[in-house]
Amino acid sequence: MRTNLRQNLKRALILVLCFCFIFAFAGCSANKGANQLESIQKAGKIVVGLEGTYPPFNYHDPESGELCGIDVEIALKIGEKLGVEVEFVEAAWESLLSGIDSGRLDVVINNVGITEARQEKYDFTDGYLYIPKQIVVKGDNEDIKSPEDLNGKKVATSATNAFNSWLESHGAEVIAVDTGEEAASLLLSGRADFVNFDPLILKSYMDEHPDADLKVAFVVTDTYETAAIPVRKGESELLGALNDALHGMSEDGTLSALSEKYTGGDYTEKP
């Protein structure tokens, strides 16, 4: 009888452990498949990644220290539309997209350009800015006037700039920098031949440095960068909610007003 009792207890224990394992596995699977939009609404906040040092898109006001810029105001409007608070997380550009991968960030709103490589890893909203590309040189530079003149020249820009493939295809050598300030410094000191400051970045830099001897060498025709919001692959409900918010801002003129406010021009329509 003692043997039978021990065997019955052993079977009962095994059954209990099996049930515990099944319920635990089911719980993990449910969490893994949780809808991100629902999770955001349940938490009452959306976590937005940005650099915080990237005017006019996102930066700290020199006087108040408050975070401001086009991307900041767009994020706040999205929060209003979703009925949640916005929590901004500032980080270096190189770590922002990986923040989506790890779940540390819900989205990145940081003038992220759409590229084929990025589309393989993330889903993107529709564009909210369409920014023409241009080549900027020192005021006395007469050597660079067309794409053909870039061959053998050095450009100071981010190593992950979405425009680098175009620059390299025209023979330019990329000198990697972390900020626009650093890029301009290399150009003005003669250690780089040009930078690819778009009209928004150039205006912001010249507002800060009105005596900088820079000029636009030429505008790259039929080329522009589409700024959009990346999200984790497969989060269709979150993507739809973000697009609804952006479309609403486009229809009521908010996007155009923000573009004019921070850049002096309206870059919300495709060229």
Please state the separation of Cα 21 from the chain's center in Å.
40
CB-based contacts of 59, cutoff 8 Å, min separation 6? 52, 53, 67, 68, 69
Confidence of residue 34 (pLDDT cuts 50, 70, 90): low
| pLDDT score of 3 | 42
Homologous superfamily of domain range 36-128+229-263: Periplasmic binding protein-like II (3.40.190.10)
Check if the beta carbon of residue 80 is closer than 8 Å to that of residue 137: no
Write out pLDDT tens, residues 138-184.
999 999 999 999 999 999 999 888 899 999 999 999 999 988 999 99
CATH 3.40.190.10 domain span(s) along the chain: 36-128+229-263, 131-225
CATH classification number, 131-225, choose in 3.40.190.10, 3.30.930.10, 3.30.2130.10, 3.90.1300.10: 3.40.190.10
Confidence of residue 11 (pLDDT cuts 50, 70, 90): low
- Is residue 17 scored above 60 in pLDDT? no
Mean pLDDT for the stretch of residues 11-34 = 43
The tokens for 135 are 């080549």
Q: Helix 254-263 and helix 236-251: axis angle, to 10°? A: 70
Check if the beta carbon of residue 72 is closer than 8 Å to that of residue 262: no
Please state the separation of Cα 143 from the chain's center in Å.
34
- Is residue 7 scored above 80 in pLDDT? no
